């Protein structure tokens, strides 16, 4: 917990170091009062729209002290400001060792990138192909985060618990602690294996749909349904099914583009006699397996030609004509 000293003990060097580290933080426009409260320490006594880190980090240390004096604050408030910024940067474990000390240091020593390498996961994997929630993907777009590498650097710049929660925080924790089960909820990751996989990517797209929609999709494939599944499927409108199928088609094509090498491996297994439903059996979910197997039918090639059946054939035919 922060405490305020009765006199100034910080120097211009201390100020320049912390303001340089905070310059690239997305917390720069957050009120100092809010940051202090999140740290459960002494509040920031000055109120106003300009009382944010951005309102101070452009000033030299003498200018900071002068501004505080004009607001009727004692000299020790300069120390308090430095402590707020410093402790905000290093606020939450396991991200306390991820305070930015310059871009070169960030590139050299980022714990999330090291863990991605241990897991065999490409830093360039698109965030848009993860199973993160729409609001989290929107946040990533606002921050110009399009890959896992950029995701890792964003985490290194921010005090995570102050800004976001939900699955953004969950993915950061999963990567930081190498929690394979949690990773499999957000990335097309297969527990007990390394790297990311096409089949898990297709499955995530299917699992993102509510249970009634999954039942309706399974029904269209004439797969056996339980009584409860038949009841759920009966309440899904045909137009809704068409919209979801179109979205799944687009997702499947995007995944094929990324997992090109794995597609070739799966195509060889099929040529050697493997069934698509057997390939999907790693998912251990009969409903999802049926739907994913049908998706594979249209994005994998057999004898160098796309199979012209299944849900995705119409889109692929249309793409061929363009």
Task: Give 124-176 as a 3 state SS string.
Answer: CCEHHHCCCCHHHHHHHHHCCCCEHHHHHHHHHHCCHHHHCCHHHHHHHHHHH
306: enclosing H helix or E strand: strand 305-306
What span, in angstroms and rounded, lies between the C-alpha atoms of 94 and 114? 14
Same domain, 203 and 295: yes
Taking the model in full, what pTM does it have? 0.62
Report the C-alpha dihedral over residues 204, 205, 208, 214, rounded to 10 degrees: -110
Residue 192 lies inside a defined structural domain of this protein:
no
Same domain, 219 and 174: no
- DSSP annotation of 75: T
Same domain, 84 and 105: no
User: Domain limits at 49?
Assistant: 12-89
Q: Which of 134, 154, 186 is the last residue of a domain?
A: 186
Same domain, 301 and 204: yes
pLDDT exceeds cutoff 90 at 12: no
Q: Which of 89, 118, 143 is the last residue of a domain?
A: 89
pLDDT number for residue 49: 85
Same domain, 129 and 108: yes
For tokens 């094509």, name the residue.
Answer: 253
What span, in angstroms and rounded, lies between the C-alpha atoms of 297 and 311? 8
pLDDT exceeds cutoff 80 at 90: no
- pLDDT tens-digit series, residues 228-251: 989 998 988 888 999 999 999 999
Same domain, 84 and 101: no
Residue 3 lies inside a defined structural domain of this protein:
no
Token pair for residue 152?
């890792």
Residue 1 lies inside a defined structural domain of this protein:
no
**Chain length of the chain:** 322
Q: Using pLDDT thresholds of 50, 70 and 90, give the confidence band for residue 42.
A: confident
How many folded domains does the chain comprise? 3
Residue 52 lies inside a defined structural domain of this protein:
yes
Same domain, 34 and 67: yes
Residue 56 lies inside a defined structural domain of this protein:
yes
pLDDT exceeds cutoff 70 at 81: yes
The mean pLDDT value for 6-20 works out to 78
Higher pLDDT, 90 or 194: 194
The mean pLDDT value for 176-205 works out to 95
Same domain, 178 and 218: no
Q: Which of 89, 113, 138 is the last residue of a domain?
A: 89
Q: Using pLDDT thresholds of 50, 70 and 90, give the confidence band for residue 296.
A: very high
pLDDT number for residue 91: 57
Token pair for residue 181?
């089960």
Phi and psi torsions of 318, nearest 5°: -65, -40
């Amino acid at each position: 917990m922060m405490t305020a000293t009765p006199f100034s003990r910080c120097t211009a060097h201390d100020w320049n170091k912390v303001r340089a580290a905070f310059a690239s933080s997305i917390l720069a426009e957050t009120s100092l009062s809010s940051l202090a409260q999140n740290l459960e320490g002494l509040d920031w006594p000055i109120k106003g729209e300009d009382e944010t880190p951005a309102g101070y980090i452009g000033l030299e240390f003498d200018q900071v002290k002068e501004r505080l004096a004009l607001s009727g604050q004692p000299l020790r408030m300069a120390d308090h400001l430095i402590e707020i910024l410093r402790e905000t940067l290093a606020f939450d474990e396991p991200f306390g060792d991820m305070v930015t000390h310059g871009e070169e240091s960030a590139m050299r020593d980022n714990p999330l990138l090291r863990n991605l390498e241990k897991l065999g996961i490409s830093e360039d994997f698109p965030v848009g192909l993860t199973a993160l929630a729409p609001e989290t993907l929107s946040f990533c777009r606002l921050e110009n985060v399009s890959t896992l590498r950029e995701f890792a650097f964003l985490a290194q710049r921010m005090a995570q618990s102050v800004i976001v929660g939900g699955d953004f925080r969950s993915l950061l924790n999963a990567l930081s602690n190498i929690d394979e089960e949690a990773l499999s909820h957000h990335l097309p990751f297969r527990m007990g294996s390394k790297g990311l996989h096409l089949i898990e990517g297709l499955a995530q797209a299917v699992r993102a749909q509510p249970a009634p929609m999954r039942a309706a999709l399974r029904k269209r494939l004439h797969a056996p349904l339980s009584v409860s599944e038949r009841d759920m499927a009966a309440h899904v409108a045909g137009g809704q099914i068409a919209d979801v199928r179109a979205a799944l088609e687009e997702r499947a094509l995007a995944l094929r583009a990324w997992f090109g090498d794995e597609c070739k491996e799966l195509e060889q297994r099929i040529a050697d006699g493997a069934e698509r439903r057997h390939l999907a059996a790693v998912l251990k979910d009969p409903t999802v397996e049926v739907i994913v197997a049908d998706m594979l039918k249209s994005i994998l090639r057999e004898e160098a030609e796309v199979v012209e059946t299944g849900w995705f054939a119409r889109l692929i035919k249309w793409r061929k004509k363009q």
